[in-house]
Chain A
Amino acid sequence: MNMILTSTVNGLVLSAIYILVALGFGLQLSIMGIFNFAHGAVYMIGAYVTYGLSVALGLNQWVSLLISVILVGASGLLLEKFCFRPFQSKPTHMIVMAIALIMILETAVEVTLGGVTRALPAFVPGIFKAGSISVDNERVLAFAIGAVLLAALTFLIQKTKIGQQMLAVAQDAEGAALQGIDTHRIAATATVIACATAALSGSLMATIFSMNPFMGDNILLKAIQVVILSGIGSIGGVLVGGLIMGFLNAFLPVLINASVGEVITILIVLGILLIRPKGLFGYELF
């Protein structure tokens, strides 16, 4: 009973984080047509900036998180302009660019802070109790922030003018330019949103689990699986795909074992793709 409860809570937390990271990865893919394999490294940097500010400099942890989200988000402007834009129509070059970014960011952290695994202190230490259920506050917080942010992002994309322009660029960039839409501005907006949400996700995960310079590699693989599973460009699809991935990753390691769980997860994703080659939703839910 306890194990089911713990895994369910973990499933919800993992789902929220996977969905956030996958949404950023998917936004960059559909708007710029690039596979930003460095997205996991950005997530890791977000966690380390929060750590640096709060643990090393002694700032309030919430303030540290806010600064990290703003700084890493703003760095999206530079990423889009200097790292993505020049390679938008050159997919092979973009792969090299992304690998370079991963190596630079991971090495920078490893050299300056060491490769050891650290813990980011909890934002709200303690246990959340409701009747016979008790969960640590950190997980409740991560899920709540994730859910609110997801709702906000969905609203932004589907109901606002800039959101509709993002979808327009994703569906036909040249057609969008002919409507007077500045496609570079839209790409920059998408990258900033993706980087900011990655920084937030990385920081939240670092309090629940732990952090090391390579923590981005695993989440990147998860995000790629969620995006491909759900169908590129579908927000609703990412929600469902993220929940599937989150729960598989919460239950399988407990039921079987962590490594075998990973293998079974990817086999399930492959199986779904065999039945539905365009992913679960394709573009349908836009």
Chain B
Amino acid sequence: MLLRVSNLTVHYGKAVALENVSMEVAEGSVVTLVGANGAGKTTLLRAMSGLIPATSGGIWFRDRKINGLQAPKIVEMGLVHIPQGRRLFPYLTVMSNLQLGASLRNDKVAVKQDLDNVFQHFPRLYERRNQKAGTLSGGEQQMVAIGRGLMAAPKLLLMDEPSLGLAPLMVAELVPVIKYINERGISVLLVEQNVSLALGVASQGYALQVGRIVLEGDIEKFKTSEVVKTAYLGR
């Protein structure tokens, strides 16, 4: 198993944010994690990428325990997190943002190749390569965030609500992007509140409700489930 979370509990101060969460992402798959606002989706991704500590339980990536490691070490292992809200460097150029994604890589030739691939796939970013990232539209910024994530040469990409704040037309464009990423051999854990996007690209799913997994399994199960409707509507 590429990623395995086992009985993970996370607290913010005294408040429980995640309780006994267990989940898996298989090599080569696209898995979605759904849940209402405040369910704990971002918290789970932040624990995986080393931004917050776990109270108990464990996270294994490529058979190595990663909770307790610093964020840069985890990136180096190939687990790359595209955060909610994108978190670009607004006063740096698109080019700089993309290059910073490859901060830990020394293989200049391969980095250049990956940069070319990003520009080939997102020609718009090439046109705007010398523009400051903060001046781009929301959709373009999301492309920079995805491109920056790809520049780290990930094995597993964590995507936290990439559709957030995008116009419906832009959201539809995310489907082929995620498929393209997956076709290149990169596994994806997609956190989404957009039902059709999540169910359209994932093969496996997990539903989180106030810090607990309430449904898991094959994506077909999610398409008919009442739980999913509640998860999305937040009741």
Contacts and interface: CB of A to CB of B under 8 A. Distances in A.
B87 A175 contact: yes
Contacts of B148: 179
A85 to B, nearest CB: 14
B89 A178 contact: no
Interface in A205-243: 233
Interface in B132-169: 148, 152
A181 B50 CA distance: 13
B100 interface: yes
A179 to B, nearest CB: 5
A164 B99 contact: yes
Contacts of B81: 178
Contacts of B100: 164-165, 168, 176, 179, 181
A175 to B, nearest CB: 3
A58 interface: no
A174 interface: yes
Nearest to A169: B89
Nearest to A233: B91
Interface stretch (B68-76, B178-186, B209-217): B68-76
Nearest to B85: A175
B53 interface: no
Interface in B86-112: 87-92, 96, 99-101, 103-104
B91 A167 contact: yes
Contacts of B152: 179-180
B92 A177 contact: no
A128 interface: no
Interface in A140-198: 161, 164-165, 167-168, 171-172, 174-182
Contact of B75 (A161, A172, A178, A233): A178
Nearest to A164: B96
Contacts of A179: 75, 100-101, 103-104, 148, 152
B83 interface: yes
B49 interface: yes
A37 B51 CA distance: 29
Interface residues of A, number: 19
B75 A175 contact: no
A62 interface: no
A283 interface: yes
Contact of B83 (A164, A171, A178, A286): A178
Main secondary structure of the interface of B (DSSP, over half): loop
Contacts of B80: 178
A164 B75 contact: no
Given A164-B99, A179-B152, A286 B91 contact: yes
Given A164-B96, A165-B100, A180 B76 contact: yes
A233 B89 CA distance: 13
Among B51, B87, B104, B148, max chain A CB count under 10 A is at: B87
Contacts of B90: 171-172
Among A165, A176, A178, max chain B CB count under 10 A is at: A178
Given A164-B99, A180-B72, A171 B92 contact: yes
A242 to B, nearest CB: 21
A181 B92 contact: no
A178 B49 CA distance: 8
Nearest to A182: B72
A171 B51 contact: no
Interface in B33-90: 49, 51, 70-72, 75-76, 80-81, 83, 87-90
Contacts of A283: 91
Contact of B72 (A168, A174, A177): A177
Contacts of B88: 172, 175
A233 B76 CA distance: 29
A233 to B, nearest CB: 8
Contacts of A175: 83, 87-89
A167 B75 contact: no
A172 B84 CA distance: 13
B103 A181 contact: yes
Contacts of A180: 71-72, 75-76, 103-104, 152
Nearest to B50: A177
8 contacts: A164-B100, A167-B91, A168-B89, A174-B87, A178-B71, A178-B80, A179-B103, A180-B75
Given A177-B71, A180-B71, 4 more contacts: A175-B89, A178-B75, A179-B148, A180-B104
Nearest first, the 8 A-B pairs at minimum CB distance are: A175-B87, A180-B75, A180-B104, A177-B71, A286-B91, A180-B72, A171-B89, A180-B103
